[in-house]
Structure 1
Amino acid sequence: MTETKKPIVNPAELELEHWQEGTFFESRDVSFGAELGLTNLGVGYGEVPPGKSGCPFHNHHIEEELFVILSGQGEYRFGPNRYPVKPGDVLGAPSGGPETAHNLINTGTEPLKYLSISTNAKAEIVEYPDSGKFLAQSRAVAGGKPVFRFIGKRESEVDYWDGEPGI
């Protein structure tokens, strides 16, 4: 059981991690569900600069996500559609295939600030329809590192019996 430090967290008081990949992906964010003692629910806070996205377009096969827009303007890319978002909007991202793929894009002139809430499955498969990648991972950790995490493409698929002794 995770020890609860305090049952209240204010995202404005948390230290955000800034990262950037290429010219389109950038965010300042933090996960803080563990700070609240939560083990089966992930909670995060993110700030995405204008013209950027905080993650690639993706869908989860097991986990579900929910986003609450706190400030700023953006676009929620969900499946084949795009929806404008504003403060107070609540966005759902159910598990499923590419029809539930999603990401948030800041289309405004100020940072897009939001809360993210998700289930924390023991294992997960995530697809990235734009790039054809997938992620397979276990939440199990040993020595501070994931026990299993693999990002690949379907082209690297092998036969079930490939490499087995006696085949």
Structure 2
Amino acid sequence: MTLPLVVVLVVAVGLPLLAVWVARRPYWSRLRAGAEPDPWGDLVRRHGLSAGEASRIAEDVPRGRRLPDPRLRPVAVEWARELLRQEQLRLPRDPWRRRVVVAFLVVWLVTALGLVVPRVVSGEGVDVNWATVVIWSVVGIWAVRRRRALRRAVELNEGLDPDR
């Protein structure tokens, strides 16, 4: 009878004391709310955009459109460049490591094509996981088209002539 009572007391008193002790650790005081970067929020605040203007930029820039308002064009260029920077393929800075990563990717791609192409040519394409092929093809096409649209948004909105 005493063992269950001791266990209940340890749990009832010990857990709250442990929680208080953990909460007062210096680690928790170093954490800051909202410490992660927010490029979109920073852009909206910096340029004082209304909700409609922000919506227009968020819709037109990824589609590669020219904004009709000349005041919003520099903001659109800035946002398109930020999106391009975020989506840039980040290879290692060290030239030797970069070569290793690129070589690995090339070997992987050649191996994948080397496995798929002979099966398709020989008529054994049934064994190929076509769902994976389609998904990766769609993702690749989408990424290329998105980057083109962002570059087009920069070109169309960057013009110096306000009558363009």
TM-score range (shorter-chain normalised) is under 0.3
TM-score by length of 1: 0.20
Q: Which has the higher strand share?
A: 1
Q: Which has the higher contact order (CA 8 A, sep 6+)?
A: 2
Query: Radius of gyration: which is bigger?
Result: 2
